Amino acid sequence: MYELQIVSHFSAAHQLRNFKGRCESLHGHNWRVEVTVQGNELDEADILLDFGYLKKLTQEALDDLDHVFLNDMPEFSERNPSSELIARRIFQSLAPRLPGGVHLKLVSVWESEGSRAGYLG
């Protein structure tokens, strides 16, 4: 089994309802997004997937999250745009874009250095 990981970023604002702490107030983060994929078979160039292509697919999955107020998105009108649900949302958006034989293992979202949430399918 082979594993690849790429790192991307997006910037957005959010506000966590029912949360007693600093994240209850409107604020922003520069989120670091780590995408980890796995697969068993290498292609004719002996790679699992081109890093640049994986970054492009990840960017497509991040496009509508970048530079927005996340609470305005319909899916976050009732539930909070927490790092946990953001990671799940990126996972669910990215998974169907991957080519056959490449399995999305984990999407990690860092909202600050030292604070990470992950979603495994």
Q: Which residues are catalytic?
A: 23, 67, 111
Question: Per CB under 5 A, which region of 5-13, 23-31, 62-70, 86-94 contacts Zn ion?
Answer: 23-31
**67 three-state secondary structure:** coil
Q: Which is nearer to Zn ion, 23 or 117 (CB)?
A: 23
Q: Which is nearer to Zn ion, 23 or 95 (CB)?
A: 23
13 binds Zn ion (CB under 5 A): no
Least distance in Å: CB of 89 to Zn ion? 15
85 binds Zn ion (CB under 5 A): no
Alpha carbon distance 98, 45 (integer Å): 18
Least distance in Å: CB of 93 to Zn ion? 20
C-alpha separations of 81 from 32, 55, 69, 86 in Å:
15, 23, 10, 6
For the record, the structure tokens of 105 come out as 């293992």
23 binds Zn ion (CB under 5 A): yes
**79 three-state secondary structure:** coil
Q: Which is nearer to Zn ion, 107 or 111 (CB)?
A: 111
Strands 27-39 and 103-112: antiparallel
For the record, the structure tokens of 62 come out as 């991040």
Binding site for Zn ion (CB under 5 A): 23
